[in-house]
Amino acid sequence: MSKEEISDGTVHKMSADLKKALVSDPIAYTIWQSSLTPLARNEWICWTVTVKQQKTRDNHVNRVVSELKEGMRRPCCWLGCIHRTDKAISPSVQRILDKQTKSK
């Protein structure tokens, strides 16, 4: 597989900014392509693309690269992808989402 082809997640497609960051770092790219599951890749992509501010997104893109190289398999301290349709949202995550909705 060439670096122009990079694996997506189960729900989310690879964004251009995340692809650029991964392709520019051979170690992170190799980890992404060879040792992450599609669900793990999906978690990283979702964590990166669902933020509101561009500054936060840029930070997340950079952290994906550095945290993969540190051995992290998924984003830390994050609820997980709520866009998956193959499983229901857990009750604990649903409560957090409900609280976030009420506070807006």
Burial (0-12, 13-18, 19+ Cβ within 10 Å), 81: buried
pLDDT at res. 104: 61
Nearest one of 61, 58, 52 to 100, comparing CA atoms = 52
**Domain residues of the chain, as ranges?**
16-77
Q: Which residue has the higher pLDDT, 35 or 93?
A: 35
Q: How far is C-alpha 62 from the chain's CA centre?
A: 12
Range 15-44 average pLDDT: 95
Say whether pLDDT at 80 is over 70. yes
Q: What percent of the chain has pLDDT over 90?
A: 59
Q: What is the pLDDT of residues 33-64, one digit of tens each?
A: 999 999 999 999 999 998 989 999 999 999 99
pLDDT at res. 95: 76
